[in-house]
Each structure stands twice: as C-alpha cells, then as structure tokens.
Amino acid sequence: MATSPSPGQQTDRAARLWRIERALIAAGAARIAGVDEAGRGPLAGPVVAAAVILPVGWCPDGLNDSKQVPAETRERLYDRIIAGAVAWAVVAVPAEIIDEINILEATRRGMRAALRALTPAPDLALVDGLPLPEPPVPQQNVIKGDSHSASIAAASILAKVTRDRLLCALDAEHPGYGFARHKGYPTPEHLAALRRLGPCPAHRRSFGPVRACGQGALDLA
C-alpha cells in the first residue's frame, strides 16, 4: 500500500524544488514567476498558460509536475495555490486562434499574457522549456522545469486543472466526443468520434487528424 511522504522527505523535496529560485533570489530577484502551459498536443479545446509567484520557500504537499499528480491531488493543489500564491494568472487561447497563428505562437501568446496579468509584476520569469520570445520581463528557461522548480510546478497545476475543467464544459456543449474523458487528446475514442461526427467548433482545424476528417479522408471503417 502506498504511504505518504514523511515530514523529512517533504522538506527535502521542498528544498530541491526551491533550489533554482533561491539561487536567483540570492542574485537579486525579489519576485519570481513560474510559467507553464497545458494542452499543446490535443486536437480540440484551448491551450492554457499559467503564471504563478509563490511565497519564498512555500511548497504545498504533493506539488510536482501536473502530469505526475493524480487528478484529485491536482484539484486540491489548485485550491491551495490560488489561496496561497503572491500572484497568479491563467490565460486560455481558443482553438480558432491556434488555427490562425499555430499552436506554438498561441502558447507563447498565452504565456506572455499570463505574465503581464500578474500583480505585483515579477522581476524574473522561469519558463518551462524553450525561451519565450519578447517576454514582458526577464526570463530564464528551464528544461523539464515543472519537475525542478516549485514556481513552474505550481503554474503547471493551475494550467492543467483549468484546461481539464474547460474540456468538461466543452463535453456538455458538444456531446458525443468524450472531451471530459480524453480532454481533447487523440485517443482511439476521440478519433472514432471524429470519424462518426466530424469536427465541432472546439476542434483545431489546422491539426492533421481534424483536417483529414473534415476532408473526409479518415478511414470510416
């Protein structure tokens, strides 16, 4: 049976997740924002970006890369983060904008907007993955940052939970696709629904499987 981390393990994990931020704080950055996104790969729904400034050293129990955290724990962490953060912002960029400017640029737009929405403004942003062009504040990119930075991990939780909730709402608006279950990802269930029903307004028409379906090119068997 799984056991909860001991207090010592929790303290060690918090220290590890704060290592990057503490080094930057020692170098003069007073407020550091973590930035991450959720939903680049799905065929439907928005891409969601989040930015979070945490109190120095604060690390809620269970904080980790959102992909490594069970849904129930993510919901609990979401509530704790928005209640305890110095500042937080979440921005959803819808499918029509993704189709207009492409998923990478839509993700960047969301990240920049989330950073600009923070009050107080950060001195520096820790961005998961590749550097953000034209950032509103100085930045440092961190590969797999959601596993190495408390601030980025917190942003990943807010982005993931927000997006999952939006896909559940889309499931009610566009029944039959199973959005509440697969969250828009190209699962066999989702692809079968696309073949059967065709794309709905929430689908990303520029993505190959959706475009092929719209053209009647998917196997209907």
Q: Say if 219 falls within a structural domain.
A: no
Q: What is the model's pLDDT at position 220?
A: 37
Q: Percent of the chain beyond pLDDT 70? A: 92
Instruction: Write down the pTM of the prediction.
Output: 0.91
How many other CB atoms are there within 10 angstroms of residue 144's CB atom?
Answer: 11
Q: Quick check: is 12 in a domain?
A: yes
Q: How many domains does the chain have?
A: 1
Please report the pLDDT score of residue 12 as a whole number. Answer: 80
Asked if residue 170 belongs to a domain, the reply is yes
* pLDDT above 90 for 119: yes
Q: Is residue 14, in this structure, part of any structural domain at all?
A: yes
Is 203 part of a structural domain of the chain? no
| Cβ-Cβ contacts under 8 Å for 114 (sequence gap 6 or more) | 35, 49, 50, 51, 89, 90, 91
Residue 215: pLDDT over 60: no
Host domain of residue 116: 7-175
Domain annotation covers residue 202: no
Is 131 within a domain?
Answer: yes
Domain-embedded: residue 190: no
Separation of alpha carbons 212 and 85, rounded Å: 43
Q: Assign residue 97 the CATH number of its domain.
A: 3.30.420.10
